A = this chain, B = another copy of it.
Amino acid sequence: MTGKFEALSVETLPKRLGGTAALTGRIGRDISRWKVQEVGDGNLNLVFIVEGDQGAAVVKQALPYVRLVGDSWPLPLKRSFFEYHALTRQERRAPGSVPAIYHFDETQALIVMEYLAPPHIILRRALIDGRELPNIARDIGLFMARTLFRGSDLSMVTKERKADLALFADNVELCDITENLVFSDPYFDAKMNRHTSPQLDDLVAELRADRDLKVEAQRLKHLFAANAETLLHGDLHSGSIMVTDTETRMIDPEFAFYGPIAFDVGMLLANFWMAFFSQRGHEEKGSRDSMRAYLLGVTAETWATFRAEFAHLWRTERSGILYQKSLFEDQGDLLGSEQALDHVLHSIWTDLLGFAGIEVHRRILGLAHNADFETIADQDLRARCEAKALRFGRHIAVNRRQIHSIDEVNNLAALIEQEKSL
């Protein structure tokens, strides 16, 4: 399949991909027996499940615009190129954590990849359903530590990192989405904003008049835009993770680019905290106390796993140009490298709280909302959940330099959640 870009459809897909050995070899050559379903969640891309006699695969194709909005919001096909390259690097750095790639067609902006069959579901869906998955904290913590450490100058050959940085620097339009939708739009009356109204109107006005918050959000944007520290997933939330009770896979890294380590971690933890604050809206079938405790436990364990694995890699794989062993271990100064590690982890910690706070805000005030809150039908109840999350986000973003442990943050979340006056 070559030539000019053409969007696939359920009808045309078998004929157009029937000659692709990487696909026919996996699912079967008889295209007359292929079953094709379109399952894209509708935001950006087309996603098909293709089943043949021998198996199934996923075909993901970018469109030259934002699917959710239409032609009026063009978006380059090249995001498929960045997704493909991010997936190959993530697989190398954290084997088994992403879907296997069978085929990539740059012109057609499509990736053929492993089908994560049921019982795989989107993590966000599982958390809304109140499922307590035992492995996610560990799996995601390891994924983040390994991809973020191994994609940085702590580990890579600098020449290769810089070539890769240049490659991903072209992912301008998707970074632009984050720059606007995450860091700025929520804090003024931007066109595409929406929020639960009128219930949240006063709080929204209060946050938009909050100078300390706005300045902090922009400082975080500055960090996001300038600090090309490692290859990020770039959109690591609970909607970008597929799970079963035992398995965890990260998907959809089309926002990948070189940015600050703390961004992926903060965005991910924010989504757990949002899940926590949304549970009150999902108690039709009984209390979610256990789920709330589980979710705070997940944030603590994710961060602990990240820290432990990052420290392990620091001690065993620190072969890049930063904090080089010739200055520390080789001089018999083991504690020098531990001191530097403390500084680096402290800085990731401080910044991730900022990114997390901002991520909570944009998911409630901006364009792209979360099903965690959106599926709460009772508007007043939803608004109460959202208001608590907004206040939590504001607190951790603005006070991030004075918060020392994940337990403090979780205690704060629990306090806000139980407070009647908020």
Interface 0/1 of A140-170, CB less than 8 Å to B? 0000000000001100001100110111011
Contact between chains at A322 and B172 (CB < 8 Å): no
Q: Which residues of B contact A222 (CB under 8 A)?
A: 153, 322-323, 344
How far does the alpha carbon of A188 sit from the alpha carbon of B322 in the complex, in Å? 14
Contact between chains at B158 and A225 (CB < 8 Å): yes
Using known A-B contacts A169-B163, A218-B323, A343-B219, determine if residue A330 contacts B226 with beta carbons closer than 8 Å: no
Partner of A226, one of B172, B221, B227: B227
CB distance from A128 to the nearest CB of B (A): 32
**Residue A333 interfacial (CB < 8 Å):** yes
How far does the alpha carbon of A327 sit from the alpha carbon of B210 in the complex, in Å? 10
Q: Which residues of B contact A2 (CB under 8 A)?
A: none
Using known A-B contacts A169-B162, A326-B188, determine if residue A153 contacts B225 with beta carbons closer than 8 Å: yes
Interface residues of A in 170-222 (CB under 8 A from B): 170, 172, 175-176, 179-180, 184, 187-188, 190, 208-209, 211-212, 214-215, 217-219, 221-222
Binding-face segment, A99-107, A111-119, A334-342? A334-342
Q: Which residues of B contact A219 (CB under 8 A)?
A: 340, 343
CB distance from A212 to the nearest CB of B (A): 8
Contact between chains at A166 and B170 (CB < 8 Å): yes
Q: Which residue of B lies closest to A323 (CB)?
A: B218
Q: Which residue of B lies closest to A211 (CB)?
A: B336
**Residue A371 interfacial (CB < 8 Å):** no
Contact between chains at B158 and A172 (CB < 8 Å): yes
Interface-centre pick from A159, A188, A225, A326 (highest chain B CB count, 10 A): A225
Q: Which residue of B lies closest to A159 (CB)?
A: B172
Give the size range of A's interface with the partner: 35 or more
How far does the alpha carbon of A180 sit from the alpha carbon of B158 in the complex, in Å? 12
Q: Chain A interface secondary structure, helix, strand, loop or mixed?
A: helix
Contact between chains at B158 and A326 (CB < 8 Å): no
Partner of A169, one of B169, B172, B226: B169
Contact between chains at A176 and B153 (CB < 8 Å): no
How far does the alpha carbon of A340 sit from the alpha carbon of B175 in the complex, in Å? 22
Contact between chains at A226 and B225 (CB < 8 Å): no
Partner of A218, one of B217, B331, B340: B340
Contact between chains at A322 and B170 (CB < 8 Å): no
How far does the alpha carbon of A187 sit from the alpha carbon of B163 in the complex, in Å? 29
Q: Which residues of B contact A188 (CB under 8 A)?
A: 326-327, 330-331
- Show 21 residue pairs from A and B whose CB-CB distance is below 8 angstroms, ordered by the A residue: A153-B222, A153-B225, A158-B175, A159-B172, A165-B169, A166-B170, A180-B321, A184-B327, A188-B326, A188-B331, A209-B333, A211-B336, A212-B339, A214-B336, A215-B336, A215-B340, A215-B343, A225-B322, A226-B229, A227-B228, A228-B228
Report A's interface with B, CB cutoff 8 A. Answer: 152-153, 158-159, 162-163, 165-167, 169-170, 172, 175-176, 179-180, 184, 187-188, 190, 208-209, 211-212, 214-215, 217-219, 221-222, 225-229, 321-324, 326-328, 330-331, 333, 335-336, 339-340, 343-344
List 10 extra interface pairs beyond A208-B331, A211-B339, CB under 8 A: A162-B172, A184-B324, A188-B326, A214-B328, A214-B336, A215-B343, A218-B323, A219-B343, A221-B321, A222-B322
- 6 residue pairs, one from A and one from B, having the closest CB atoms: A166-B166, A166-B169, A226-B229, A162-B169, A218-B323, A211-B336
